[in-house]
Amino acid sequence: MIQKLQSKLIQFMKGRYGRIDSLNKTMIIISLILLFIANFGFLWPLRIIAYGLFFYAYYRVFSKKIYVRSNENQRFIRKTRPIAKKWHLWKTKFTQRKTYRYFPCPSCKQQMCAPKGRGKIKVTCSKCHHSFVKKV
């Protein structure tokens, strides 16, 4: 019985997108947050938006237009990449704040790091090769 159900599900999913990609994850998380907020008050428009996002995410999973959904995800990733880069840099700075000092290059603004407690050091930027002295 379970194998029959599993084979029917496999047959149903053939030719479908079937992925929970980063756009789907983001839409599901936002819809859950909106539903959580809507439960504290009678905010039915917020609830409608949350359910709409949730159903659209599942529509994308079961869609047969694989290339369209993949292109949507690529556009989403391209738009959110600067935010993700800043978040990753902030997270790295925060976790290594006791051992490393982070600072930008004065000419190209490239983020660099050096171990704390070394005093004055001469730093050369790997991007623009500008040399400067920095106290860490």
Residue 123 structural domain: 98-136
Three-state DSSP state, 18: coil
In terms of domains, do 28 and 53 share one?
Answer: yes
In terms of domains, do 44 and 56 share one?
Answer: yes
In terms of domains, do 69 and 109 share one?
Answer: no
**Integer CA distances (angstroms), 116 to 14, 74, 102, 124, in order:** 55, 39, 9, 17
Encode pLDDT of 16-36 as tens digits. Answer: 888 889 999 999 999 999 999
Within-domain flag for 7: no
Would you say the pTM of this structure is higher than 0.85? no
In terms of domains, do 89 and 117 share one?
Answer: no
Structural contact between residues 118 and 133, judged by C-beta atoms closer than 8 angstroms? no
Within-domain flag for 4: no
Encode pLDDT of 68-126 as tens digits. Answer: 999 999 999 999 999 999 999 899 999 999 999 999 999 998 989 999 988 999 999 98
In terms of domains, do 38 and 105 share one?
Answer: no
Number of domains in the chain: 2
